[in-house]
């Protein structure tokens, strides 16, 4: 048994890496659906079906707890999965929760009425599907009032990252930041609402300016997972070795993963 980490491709490796460093004694099983990436341009039913298939594969590996390290899946599929699909004894958690906790400075279990928070102008960079879902704005509205969120769909960035084209990815990030700043000239905070985007965090920060706080999910998710496993240790599992699965070409995916993380990662066919 291990803790499952699901992503549409390589982006979730940022979450895996942070979780593995925070919880070095926990075994992880990573599933990248590289054959169908990116998810951000797919419709909700397609995203739901692909996500369910990946999560079932992780259950087959003994992962009773699965982290959806994919904002698109978390936004477009998780609520439906939790309401209609996930059986007793299994848990599937998304990546929005830790981000909103950090932004609003309140714990997820805090069900008090929404209140004003320090940050008033927030830029959200995400895939087109995540932006279209408005899931981030909906969850934020339950907890905070008076926050203006300007969302920028970042078409092409995930494709460029998945193919290893850093020059194109940097150019696209700069273009998307410029487009958002035409609508919100002075954001106070920026949310990188896709787990691929931390790989381009330096470019986002430079384009936004040093005075903008850039929230990246990986470390926040890792801390949240550590807290969850402290409360629910039965989901840690008894595994000792991490495993990496892909629906894509294992050799190609392993090469790109090693390039991103700067240490060797070997994927197997899912």
Q: Indicate if 171 and 242 belong to the same structural domain.
A: no
Final residue of a domain: which of 202, 217, 232?
217
pLDDT at 97: 79
Q: Indicate if 241 and 175 belong to the same structural domain.
A: no
Tokens of 18: 């942070």
The model's pTM is 0.87
Query: Is residue 71 part of an annotated ligand binding site?
Result: yes
Tokens of 23: 């919880």
Query: Is residue 186 part of an annotated ligand binding site?
Result: no
φ, ψ (nearest 5 deg) of residue 52: -60, -40
Taking only the tens place, the pLDDT of each residue in 90-136 is 999 998 878 888 888 876 567 678 888 889 999 999 999 999 999 88
Overall number of domains in the chain:
2
Final residue of a domain: which of 217, 240, 258?
217
Q: Indicate if 104 and 57 belong to the same structural domain.
A: no
Q: At what angle do helices 217-231 and 96-104 cross, to 10 degrees?
A: 100
pLDDT at 108: 56
pLDDT at 99: 86
Whether the Cβ atoms of residue 116 and residue 143 lie closer than 8 Å to each other: no
Say how far apart CA 49 and CA 128 lie, in whole Å: 18
Q: Indicate if 65 and 112 belong to the same structural domain.
A: no
Identify the CA nearest to 94 among candidates 186, 215, 6: 6
At residue 235, the 3 state secondary structure works out as helix
At residue 107, the 3 state secondary structure works out as coil
Q: Indicate if 117 and 200 belong to the same structural domain.
A: yes
Catalytic residue ranges = 70, 194
Say how far apart CA 256 and CA 157 lie, in whole Å: 15
Identify the CA nearest to 69 among candidates 3, 134, 137, 151: 3
Segment 252-262 shows an average pLDDT of: 91
Rounded to 5°, angle at Cα 32 from 50 and 122: 85
Query: Is residue 40 part of an annotated ligand binding site?
Result: yes
User: Over 175-231, what HEC string results?
Assistant: HHHHHHHHHCCCCCEEEECCCCHHHHHHHHHHHHCCCCEEECHHHHHHHHHHHHHHH
Identify the CA nearest to 40 among candidates 82, 9, 64: 9
Q: Indicate if 212 and 141 belong to the same structural domain.
A: yes
Taking only the tens place, the pLDDT of each residue in 56-67 is 999 999 999 999
Q: Indicate if 107 and 42 belong to the same structural domain.
A: no
Contact residues for 80 (Cβ-Cβ < 8 A; gap 6+): 48
Query: Is residue 60 part of an annotated ligand binding site?
Result: no
Q: Indicate if 77 and 125 belong to the same structural domain.
A: no
Query: Is residue 246 part of an annotated ligand binding site?
Result: no
- The Cα-based distances of 77 to 71, 74, 84 in angstroms read 10, 6, 11
Q: Indicate if 63 and 107 belong to the same structural domain.
A: no
Query: Is residue 112 part of an annotated ligand binding site?
Result: no
DSSP state of 142: T
Q: Indicate if 77 and 110 belong to the same structural domain.
A: no
Q: How confident is the model at residue 254 (pLDDT cuts 50, 70, 90)?
A: very high
Segment 45-72 shows an average pLDDT of: 96
Final residue of a domain: which of 217, 237, 259?
217
Q: How would you class 43 by CB atoms within 10 Å of its CB: exposed for 0-12, middle for 13-18, buried for 19 or more?
A: exposed
Taking only the tens place, the pLDDT of each residue in 152-184 is 999 999 899 888 898 999 999 999 999 999 999
Query: Which residue range(s) make up the domain with 135?
Result: 97-217
Tokens of 89: 């004894």
Q: Indicate if 177 and 106 belong to the same structural domain.
A: yes
Q: Residue 30 pLDDT > 90, yes or no?
A: yes
Query: Is residue 4 part of an annotated ligand binding site?
Result: no
Whether the Cβ atoms of residue 69 and residue 220 lie closer than 8 Å to each other: no
Q: Indicate if 32 and 57 belong to the same structural domain.
A: yes
Taking only the tens place, the pLDDT of each residue in 187-237 is 999 999 988 898 899 999 999 999 999 988 898 899 999 999 999 999 998
Q: What is the CATH number of the domain that holds 32?
A: 3.40.50.1860
Q: How confident is the model at residue 86 (pLDDT cuts 50, 70, 90)?
A: very high
């Amino acid at each position: 048994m291990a803790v499952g980490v699901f992503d549409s491709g390589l982006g979730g490796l940022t979450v895996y890496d942070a979780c593995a460093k925070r919880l070095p004694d926990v075994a992880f099983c990573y599933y990248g659906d590289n054959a169908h990436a990116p998810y951000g341009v797919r419709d909700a039913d397609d995203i739901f079906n692909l996500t369910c298939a990946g999560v079932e594969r992780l259950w087959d590996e003994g992962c009773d707890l699965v982290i959806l390290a994919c904002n698109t899946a978390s936004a477009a599929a998780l609520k439906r999965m939790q309401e209609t699909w996930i059986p007793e004894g299994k848990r599937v958690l998304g990546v929005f929760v830790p981000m909103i906790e950090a932004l609003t400075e309140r714990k997820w279990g805090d069900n008090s009425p929404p209140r004003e928070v320090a940050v008033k102008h927030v830029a959200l960079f995400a895939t087109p599907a995540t932006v279209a879902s408005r899931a981030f704005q909906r969850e934020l509205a339950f907890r905070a009032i008076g926050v203006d969120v300007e969302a920028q769909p970042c078409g092409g960035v995930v494709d460029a990252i998945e193919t290893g084209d850093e020059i194109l990815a940097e150019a696209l990030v700069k273009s998307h930041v410029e487009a958002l700043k035409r609508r919100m000239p002075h954001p106070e905070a920026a949310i990188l609402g896709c787990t691929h985007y931390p790989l381009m965090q330096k470019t986002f920060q430079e384009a936004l300016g040093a005075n903008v706080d850039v929230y990246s999910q990986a470390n926040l998710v890792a801390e949240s997972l550590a807290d969850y496993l402290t409360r629910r240790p039965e989901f840690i599992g008894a595994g000792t070795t991490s495993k990496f699965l892909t629906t894509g070409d294992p050799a190609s995916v392993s090469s790109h993963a090693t390039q991103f993380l700067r240490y060797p990662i070997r994927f197997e066919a899912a």
